[in-house]
Amino acid sequence: MGVAGIVKAELYLQISWLRSNRVLFALQLFWPYTAILVIYVMGSAYGSVENLASALGVEDPLLYIVAASAIMFAASGIIDQTASVALWHRWLGTLPYIYTSTPSFTRYLVVSGLTSSLFQSAFNFLALAPAAFIIGGLSSGLRLFLVFAVMIIGALPLIGLGITAAIASILAREEGNVLSFLNPLLVFLGGVFYPIEILPKILQEASTIIPVRYVVDAARLAAGFQTPTGQGILLILYSLALLIVLYNGLASLGVSRLERATRKRGLY
Amino acid sequence: MATYAIETRELRKRYRTRLGGFLRGQYKWVEALRGVSFHVDWGEIYGLLGPNGAGKTTIVKIIATLLEPDSGDAFVAGYSSVRDPGRVRQVIGVMLSVERGFFWKLTARENLKYFGMLYGLPSSKLGDKIEEVLELTGLKELGAEEKRFEDMSLGMKARLGLARALLKDPQVLLLDEPTLGLDPPSARHIRGLLRELANDGRAVLVTTHNMFEAEILCDRIGIISDGRIVAEGPPQELKRRVSDTVSITATLTGIVAEGLSAKVSGSGYKMLYRVEGERVRVRIQAKRGEEVEVLDLLTRLARDSGARILEVRVEEPTLEDVFIAITGGGRWE
């Protein structure tokens, strides 16, 4: 089974699944609008949406919060997504057939995790685009696109952790992602819902190795009505590239052992 | 082409099962396989026959590369399942469970399309291949190709499982209890199809605990008990080993099966039993000419226990008697 085969199969599965689950399909399109409602409720708590914008340090809180929610789901969620794909297959009983369809289960997890993550990101973008357009016209839509592009790159360093989570969950015979305890840490240190500057110095230092932080930085640049400087964007991309190598390099050391251990215990 | 389609050499496997406890778990080691060796020829249907828990599924999983043995090895078309699992996966078609293993909300055709893509079948051939396996397994005839998996009968699900196993055009089929719980027409259809596939030169390994099925379907049978193959050969040859015996079968109610089994064994006879709700079905093996003595014994034991005998028969030997003769009987699930 080649990479193209996995991509095609996963896209086909996602589309067929959404077609068969129409209520979920509709709800997934609707969620950005509940986020907008939350902004107005929070804005009223601060006196006005403008006050909330000033507290968050952005000019467009609507776009920022909506994008930040998407970042939280997608950037840190890739770990959950990869693990949950594997666990979903185990729950359905399809896991052994997927395992025997490929020379490398890890390859399947990498490609299917990225494909489903990209699909979800594209879906979220489509759901958010009308809201962004209503709020700030075409420029908001373009900024949102930029946020999603960086978000996808921001998810790449975590794919190794996602695979580790998937195989470790299968190995431990748990019904949930055994590395899910990392998600709050990623969101907390990534500064998803507040400026990273309000954290103590040591946590700010720690956040430099959290990929989500750079995605949030990109989102803040876009939501701040600033024209992102080439230097700013490059710094974000370089940092993410470094983390992609670091995280996935570390994960690759353990994944093949984990996969072998899974075969020792057996796949169900 | 390798000499054998499938060959296992001295497979051993131990499992650690959790008995209970939250912080300090209690565990027990179970010897699932204790040195299993057998081979399957090209064009042959080989049946692994044994009660639940005997080790049949463990063997299939090892051959299918889903589980590594503690020691020993399995070879498919000459490739090692332990050292070369990728090659093994290219030549096998697997069916592990009738009731699960598909996407519930997707139709038969959609499910097959997904797995076909995953197997890397070219788009230009995928459509035709799906039509071919839908036809072959009878799903088309049943009008089930556009049915969602969740709406399918057990028979349709089994046919779909077989259709998926055939998508890759595998030379070796590994099927774990393919007819379990099926209605007779579906089971018959699947047996017929397996025979056709074997006639084409493919090797088929099936596990079953249905002795009747093993007898009419398989070219050779390996009887497995407690992690060991205890007898092997063509069904007729195995049955010849017990041609000097007859079996007294009976259905009773109001009796504790284990107690009855102990008393029958104490009288020097071997007994196999199944518990089916309130009823206990027993099969007692005796030498020809001892039928009356066994009937007397059974009647006396039933009377002493306050049990009722609903039905009793004297039967010619079957594969069950081979199992009884070799293992000494016991519970069959």
Question: Mind listing the pLDDT tens digit for each residue in B223-255?
Answer: 998 899 999 999 999 988 888 888 899 999 988
Q: Is B101 in contact with A102 (Cβ distance < 8 A)?
A: no
Instruction: Indicate the residue of A12, A92, A99 with minimum beta-carbon distance to B66.
Output: A99
- The whole-number average pLDDT for the span B201-230 is 92
SS3 for B152? coil
Q: What is the pLDDT of residue B176?
A: 93
Chain B: residue whose CA lies nearest to A8? B117
| Cα–Cα distance, A196 to A214 (Å, whole number) | 11
Q: Count other Cβ atoms within 10 Å, centred on residue B182.
A: 21
| Whether the predicted pLDDT of A228 surpasses 60 | no
| Cα–Cα distance, B129 to B96 (Å, whole number) | 21
Q: What is the pLDDT of residue A224?
A: 58
Taking alpha carbons only, the member of A209, A218, A212 closest to residue A190 is A212
CA atoms A23, A24, A29, A34: torsion sign: positive
Taking alpha carbons only, the member of B142, B133, B141 closest to residue B109 is B133
- Interface residue A3 vs chain B (CB under 8 A): no
Mean pLDDT rounded to a whole number for chain A: 76
| Whether the predicted pLDDT of A132 surpasses 80 | no
Instruction: Indicate the residue of A2, A94, A266 with minimum beta-carbon distance to B101.
Output: A94
| Cα–Cα distance, A153 to A151 (Å, whole number) | 5
| Whether the predicted pLDDT of A222 surpasses 70 | no
Q: Is B326 left (phi over 0), alpha (psi -120 to 50) or beta?
A: alpha
For residue B97, the chain A residues in CB contact (below 8 A) are 93
- Interface residue A267 vs chain B (CB under 8 A): yes
For residue A20, the chain B residues in CB contact (below 8 A) are 105-106, 148
Q: Is B119 in contact with A5 (Cβ distance < 8 A)?
A: yes
SS3 for B294? helix
| Cα–Cα distance, A45 to A52 (Å, whole number) | 8
For residue B99, the chain A residues in CB contact (below 8 A) are 93
Q: Is A17 in contact with B103 (Cβ distance < 8 A)?
A: yes
- pLDDT tens-digit profile of A173-208? 777 777 777 777 777 787 776 777 888 888 888 888
Q: Count other Cβ atoms within 10 Å, centred on residue B216.
A: 12
Q: Is A96 in contact with B64 (Cβ distance < 8 A)?
A: yes
Q: Which of B27, B57, B60, B118 to mutate to test the interface with A (most CBs of A within 10 A)?
A: B118
For residue A102, the chain B residues in CB contact (below 8 A) are 89, 118
For residue A99, the chain B residues in CB contact (below 8 A) are 65-66
* Residue partners of B15: CB distance under 8 A and separation at least 6: B29, B30, B32
Q: What is the pLDDT of residue A62?
A: 63
Mean pLDDT rounded to a whole number for chain B: 91
Q: Is A96 in contact with B66 (Cβ distance < 8 A)?
A: yes
| Cα–Cα distance, B21 to B19 (Å, whole number) | 7
User: What pairs with residue B8 in β-bridges?
Assistant: B38, B74
Instruction: Indicate the residue of A5, A92, A103 with minimum beta-carbon distance to B118.
Output: A5
- pTM to 2 decimal places: 0.82
Q: What is the pLDDT of residue A225?
A: 44
Q: What is the pLDDT of residue A1?
A: 61
> What are the DSSP calls for B17-30, one per residue?
EEEE-SSS-EEEEE
Tokens coding B147: 């049915």
Among A30-39, A215-224, A235-244, B165-174, name the most confident range. B165-174
How close does chain B come to A188, measured CA to CA in Å? Answer: 30
Q: What is the pLDDT of residue A68?
A: 63
DSSP state of B70: S
Q: Is B114 in contact with A264 (Cβ distance < 8 A)?
A: no
Place of tokens 């949950």: A84
**Residues B161 and B194 sit within 8 Å (Cβ to Cβ):** no
Q: Would you place residue A51 in the very low, low, confident or very high pLDDT band (cuts 50, 70, 90)?
A: confident
- Interface residue A16 vs chain B (CB under 8 A): yes
Q: Is A102 in contact with B89 (Cβ distance < 8 A)?
A: yes
- pLDDT tens-digit profile of B97-145? 888 899 999 999 999 999 999 998 998 999 999 999 999 999 999 999 9
- The whole-number average pLDDT for the span B287-315 is 91
* Residue partners of B33: CB distance under 8 A and separation at least 6: B11, B12, B13, B55, B58, B59, B62, B69, B72, B227
- Interface residue A97 vs chain B (CB under 8 A): yes
**Residues B147 and B108 sit within 8 Å (Cβ to Cβ):** yes
Q: What is the pLDDT of residue B30?
A: 86
Sequence letter at residue A18 = L
How close does chain A come to B91, measured CA to CA in Å? Answer: 10
| Whether the predicted pLDDT of B27 surpasses 90 | no
| Cα–Cα distance, B134 to B121 (Å, whole number) | 16
On whether ipTM exceeds 0.95, the answer is: no
